[in-house]
Amino acid sequence: MVAYIRDLTGRFQQRPHYKPEELDRECESIITGFLKSLYGNVRYPVETEDLKKLIERDADDLDVYADLSIYGAEVEGVTEFYPGRKPIVRIAAELTEDERRENRLRTTLTHEYGHVHFHAYLWEMEPLQADLLRRQPNRDKIICKRDTMIDATHTDWMEWQAGYVCGAILMPKTAVVGLCRSFVEQRGLYSAVSTRTYHGQDLIASVISSFQVSEDAARVRLIKLGLLTESVSTPSLF
């Protein structure tokens, strides 16, 4: 059961505090259950169109051709919340229109899904008053910039949680651990791999290929799971 702590950002009185293992379990359950409902089995990488279908299932609307320039040049996703309704998700059009940005599109879709699934109910618990929305028109929105999609600071708790969800949906823990186990056993490593070695780069490349993610997304996910380290000295992995 999720714990609640004081929200130091001032957005809410209290906010959910998820442990990484809780997010991993929930996200893996979501994506494996969804894929089984579509195909009867689980296969990776998750198709980009299936990520859109997942959002469309749980949101009121998904617009992947949105003009988000009003929010700033670095904004690539916005999720809007309304008490009594499902959220609305808007994705910057350039991510959809440029095939070279598909990995960024996939990252943004899963990041925004994190807000949809883990944060929408907060607006039901503490609905915003009309006068507050007039003074702060973006108070009912989460505006997501490129730099915080996968690795925001812990103080920005909504973005950190959505960033973790992004990795956990695209690269579920069980599948990533299984890939890493085979990787280190085949090479006789038996320890967390350092980013400073060619083995580390090979492992990142393997995750990129298996889950269709960017290099940054793969590296951050492996580090957060303790399967990759930025130090030279590596602890036992399994």
For 60-100, write each residue's pLDDT tens digit. 999 999 999 999 889 999 999 988 899 999 999 999 999 99
Domain of residue 29 covers 10-170
Please tell me the pTM assigned to this model: 0.92
My answer on whether 44 and 133 are in the same domain is yes
166 in a domain, yes or no? yes
Cα–Cα distance between 206 and 62 in angstroms, integer? 31
My answer on whether 127 and 209 are in the same domain is no
Rounded mean pLDDT of the chain? Answer: 91
Closest CA to 162 of 12, 67, 27: 27
DSSP assignment letter at 47: P
Residue 137, pLDDT score: 63
Residue 215, pLDDT score: 95
Residues with Cβ < 8 Å from 2, sequence gap 6 or more?
16, 17, 18, 22
My answer on whether 62 and 122 are in the same domain is yes
Helical H segments across 47-101, by residue range:
48-58, 93-97
Cα–Cα distance between 64 and 97 in angstroms, integer? 9
My answer on whether 141 and 181 are in the same domain is no
- Of 146, 170, 194, the residue that ends a domain is 170
Residue 106's H or E segment, with its range, is helix 102-125
My answer on whether 159 and 180 are in the same domain is no
My answer on whether 16 and 81 are in the same domain is yes
Residue 232, pLDDT score: 67
My answer on whether 166 and 205 are in the same domain is no
Residue 133, pLDDT score: 47
203 in a domain, yes or no? yes
Cα–Cα distance between 25 and 65 in angstroms, integer? 31
Percent of the chain at pLDDT exceeding 90: 73
237 in a domain, yes or no? no
Residues with Cβ < 8 Å from 158, sequence gap 6 or more?
9, 11, 15, 115, 119, 142
**Domain total of the chain:** 2
- Whether 7 shows a pLDDT value over 50: the answer reads yes
Q: What is the pLDDT of residues 101-126, one digit of tens each?
A: 999 999 999 999 999 999 999 988 87
Residue 235, pLDDT score: 54
**Dihedral sign (CA 178, 24, 206, 170):** positive
207 in a domain, yes or no? yes
Helical H segments across 40-101, by residue range:
48-58, 93-97
My answer on whether 76 and 147 are in the same domain is yes
